[in-house]
Structure 1
Amino acid sequence: MKYILINFIQSLALIILTPLFIGILKKFKAVLRGYKGFNIFQVYYDYHKLFKKGRVRSSYSSFITDLGPIVSLAAAITAAFMIPVIFSSGQKTFGSMFLIIFIIAIIKFFNTLIGLDCASTFGGMGSSRELFIAMLVEPIMFITIMFLYFENKSLNILHISFMNSAVSFYSIGHILAALSFFLLILTENARLPIDNPETHLELTMIHEAMILDLSGTDLAFVELASQIKLIVFSTILINLFMPFGIATTLGLTAFLKAIGFYIIKLLVILFIISIIETSMAKSRLFRVPELLSAAFSIAIAAISLNYFLG
């Protein structure tokens, strides 16, 4: 029971702090571009403003637009409650990687339906592009998960993070798999060079095109779901591929150490994303398969090295 309570508290804290982490990411990008930027708490103010606004719906919209934003947010919150953040007990009561990935896929599924439901040309274009990229991402996701299974003989994120927490040396294959998963983070969360989350140019947007007709609480739910998804993916990367410092025992010292390690690792990931987004331009849509082919090759190389050298 105490482990369930700890998992609940750490996941709840992750959800509450997600807008702060996104604000820090935006602050990193502003500093790298040479200007002051907004306060790191600005995202909370943005949500407060959106929740006070009314919802404007297309006359062509159906129940999908009513249901989609809430389901997307519910899926993101559910995924957040299934992963370790700063503590892992190693128990296999929940935390199946396949189940987590399928729950996260619900967000993509309903976002594409929302883009189609409003009968907008831009929405349909964004949904088509999103599913085109998703088709290329799924094999890489599967290969990366299989690497973790071959390495740890488990598909449970709680067990993997617990087993790898004491590892002081990571193999080349492990590092390559982490790189492949990082490329998946950029792709799955519509970051550069795949998509530009800051633009509304018709010929470049993917994620923004699908939610272009949303407003008020609908927009707040979808945006919050996307931001939680980014932090969840980053946390999965931290606790699957570099879980050193995560607490595996109950104790104040262990928890404080785990919090410090988690914040440092997450800030490093956000800083790397900010460097990529301030130094690279968005790739053309048909150049995306080249990047994902590289990620697939890296994942295959990771499994091969793990097999021959492990």
Structure 2
Amino acid sequence: MKYIAINFLQSILLIIVTPLFMGILKKFKAILRGYKGSSIFQVYYDYQKLFSKGRIRSSHSSFITQIGPILSLGASITAVFMIPTFFSSGETYLGSLFLIIFMMSIVKFLNTLIGLDCASTFGGMGTSRELFLSMLAEPVMFLTIMFLYFENKSFNIFTISFNNSSGAFYSIGHILAAISFFILLLTENARLPIDNPETHLELTMIHEAMILDLSGTDLAFVEMASQIKLMIFLTIFINLFMPFGAATTLGAVTILKASVIFFIKILVILFGISIIEISMTKSRLFRVPELLSAALAIAIAAISLNYFL
């Protein structure tokens, strides 16, 4: 019962601080670009503004646009409760990587339906691009999962995090798999150089094109789902490839120390993403397969090294 309670509380905490970390990411990028930038709490203000506005929907849209945003947010929140953050006991029936991928696929599926439902040219264009990239990213994801299974003999993220939490030694294959997953993280969350989340230029949009016709609470729900999805991927990355410092026993001091270490790791990764996003431009759509092919090759190399060494 104690394990269930701490898993529930850490998931709730992750959901609450997600907008804060998105604000910190924007603040990092602003500082690196040489200007002050907005408050790190600006994302909370943006949500307050969106929730105070009404919904304006296309006359061509159906019930999908009406229920899709809240279902997308619900799927993202559900996935949060399937992953560890700063505490992992190794004794849970949740945490199947395939189930987590399934929940993330539901979010993507609903977003693509929303993009198509509005009968907008931009929505259809963004949807086709999103699915094109997903088709290329899935082999990378499954090969990375297979590496983790060969390394830990488990598909459970709680078990993998628990086994690797000592952080005494990480093999070359482990590091290569982490690089491959990081490229996957950027792709699945529409970050540079794959997509630019800050632009609304019609010819280059991918994720933003699918939600271009949303407003008010619908837009707030989809944006929250996307931001939670990014935090889920960051948390998965930390717990699979760098879980050192995670709490494996219950104790106030242990939990507090593990939570501080976890949030520091999140900040370090966000700072790395901000450096990537201010130093690189968006790649042409047909250059992205080259990047994902490199990620696929790295994942294959990681599995090979794990097998032969």
2:250 paired residue number: 250
Report 1:47-86 matches (<5 A). Answer: 47-86=47-86
Letter in 2 for 1:269: I
1:90 paired residue number: 90
Q: What is the distance in 1 between the residues matched to 2:179 and 2:66?
A: 38
2:179 paired residue number: 179
Any idea what the Cα deviations from partners look like across 1:228-257, whole Å, max 9, x if unmatched?
000110000001101000000011121121
2:202 paired residue number: 202
1:167 deviates by: 3.0
Q: What is the distance in 2 between the residues matched to 1:214 and 1:22?
A: 20
Give the 3-state SS of the residue equivalent to 2:21 in structure 1: helix
2:23 paired residue number: 23
Count of matched residue pairs? 309
Q: What is the distance in 1 between the residues matched to 2:52 and 2:33?
A: 32
CA RMSD of aligned residues (A): 0.6
Report 1:101-250 matches (<5 A). Answer: 101-250=101-250
Give the 3-state SS of the residue equivalent to 1:71 in structure 2: helix
Any idea what the Cα deviations from partners look like across 1:168-214, whole Å, max 9, x if unmatched?
11000000000100001100000000000000000111000000000
1:95 deviates by: 0.5
Q: What is the distance in 2 between the residues matched to 1:182 and 1:37?
A: 26
Give the 3-state SS of the residue equivalent to 1:244 in structure 2: coil
Question: Percent identity between the aligned chains?
Answer: 78
1:264 deviates by: 1.1
Structure 2 stretches lacking a partner, 5+ long? none
Q: What is the distance in 2 between the residues matched to 1:92 and 1:8?
A: 12
Q: What is the distance in 1 between the residues matched to 2:179 and 2:257?
A: 25
Structure 1 stretches lacking a partner, 5+ long? none
Letter in 2 for 1:292: L
Q: What is the distance in 1 between the residues matched to 2:301 and 2:248?
A: 31
Q: What is the distance in 1 between the residues matched to 2:83 and 2:182?
A: 17
2:300 paired residue number: 300
1:30 deviates by: 0.3
Letter in 1 for 2:182: F
Q: What is the distance in 2 between the residues matched to 1:15 and 1:92?
A: 21
1:42 paired residue number: 42
Any idea what the Cα deviations from partners look like across 1:247-280, whole Å, max 9, x if unmatched?
0001112112101210111011100110010000
1:92 deviates by: 3.2
Q: What is the distance in 2 between the residues matched to 1:230 and 1:296?
A: 21
Letter in 1 for 2:119: A
